Amino acid sequence: MSTPTNLKVSEPTKGVLTITLHRPEALNALNTKLLEELADLLDEIQSNPEVGAVVITGSSKAFAAGADVREMATLDAVGVLRDPRVDHWKRITAFKKPLIAAVNGFCLGGGCELAMHADIIIAGEEAKFGQPEIKLGIMPGAGGTQRLLRAVGKSMAMQMVLTGEPISAQQAMGFGLISEITIPETTVERAQKVAQQIARHAPIAVEMAKDSVLKAFDTDLASGLLYERKAFTLLAATEDRNEGINAFIEKRKPAFKGC
């Protein structure tokens, strides 16, 4: 993969890789190039055993202010239909390792949709979450009507999507869109701490646990419980499961190997 120009990527530290969206001139607006670089990077990380979890963040002013409106203005209906970003979003959705969004500042439109692709969102107290597309005569197109509804419920999702007005980090916390509020200076650090905690666990168990929780979004309870049970049973075939249980019994720290 060539070096990304719209992302800053850390070396893995304690099993955690940090990706920083970097288009300061456009408040990290998600253009095709940025999304392609992100999707390529996540594809690559997928098979890197040194990475147990990923933190994605932006700047103190903006996590991301949405899709790139200037680029969108160049697309007609066929252009939107054939938009390569649809495939990039699919690849981001398919990422199997835990993804934690550390959000400060504006988190709008496609930016909010990207944050909602994360498994956990931790936000600074000044963060603003919104789906302002309606003000542009369009609507959310990368999951904003679906994932937002599942995160905050019908009434608040409708209010955000139909008025285009953002909500504060405190409101986002109250509605369950995010899991923690921090002071802005410590948002990334806190997300990295949570990611490190996750990255210490058995990788296959983490992957299956994430997969099972996500299954709840698109299945009924009985099917979800069956799915969970099968994943739980499969884990019994891993060496890490024996290691985890034996380490507990022997009162020592487990040494997981990812198999």
Residues annotated as part of the active site: 67, 110, 113, 133
By rule CB under 6 A, what count of residues binds ligand CO8?
A: 21
Q: Which is nearer to ligand CO8, 167 or 208 (CB)?
A: 167
Contact 135, 101 (CB under 8 A): no
Least distance CB 8 / ligand CO8 (angstroms): 18
Least distance CB 177 / ligand CO8 (angstroms): 17
The answer to the question of residue 42 lying near ligand CO8 (CB under 6 A) is no
- Per CB under 6 A, the list member of 5, 13, 44, 86 interacting with ligand CO8 is 86
d(C-alpha 212, C-alpha 173), whole Å: 23
Q: Which is nearer to ligand CO8, 43 or 71 (CB)?
A: 71
- Per CB under 6 A, the list member of 65, 123, 127, 169 interacting with ligand CO8 is 65
- The burial of 136, by beta-carbon neighbours within 10 Å (0-12 exposed, 13-18 middle, 19 or more buried), is given as middle
Check residue 218 and report its DSSP letter. G
Name the segment binding ligand CO8 (CB under 6 A); options: 102-110, 115-123, 181-189, 226-234: 102-110
Q: How many residues does the chain have?
A: 259
- Residue 137 phi/psi, 5° resolution? 80, 15
- Helix 221-235 / helix 203-215 crossing angle, nearest 10 deg: 170
d(C-alpha 67, C-alpha 174), whole Å: 26
b/e map 72-89, b = 16+ CB within 10 Å: beeeeeeeeeebebeebb
Least distance CB 154 / ligand CO8 (angstroms): 21
Measured from the Cβ of residue 228, the count of other Cβ atoms closer than 10 Å reads 17
Name the segment binding ligand CO8 (CB under 6 A); options: 3-11, 128-136, 204-212, 219-227: 128-136
- Per CB under 6 A, the list member of 8, 14, 70, 257 interacting with ligand CO8 is 70
Residue that has been written with the tokens 């409106």 in this structure:
69
Least distance CB 69 / ligand CO8 (angstroms): 4
The answer to the question of residue 83 lying near ligand CO8 (CB under 6 A) is yes
Contact set with ligand CO8 (CB under 6 A): 26-27, 29, 65-70, 83, 85-86, 106, 108-110, 132-133, 136, 141-142
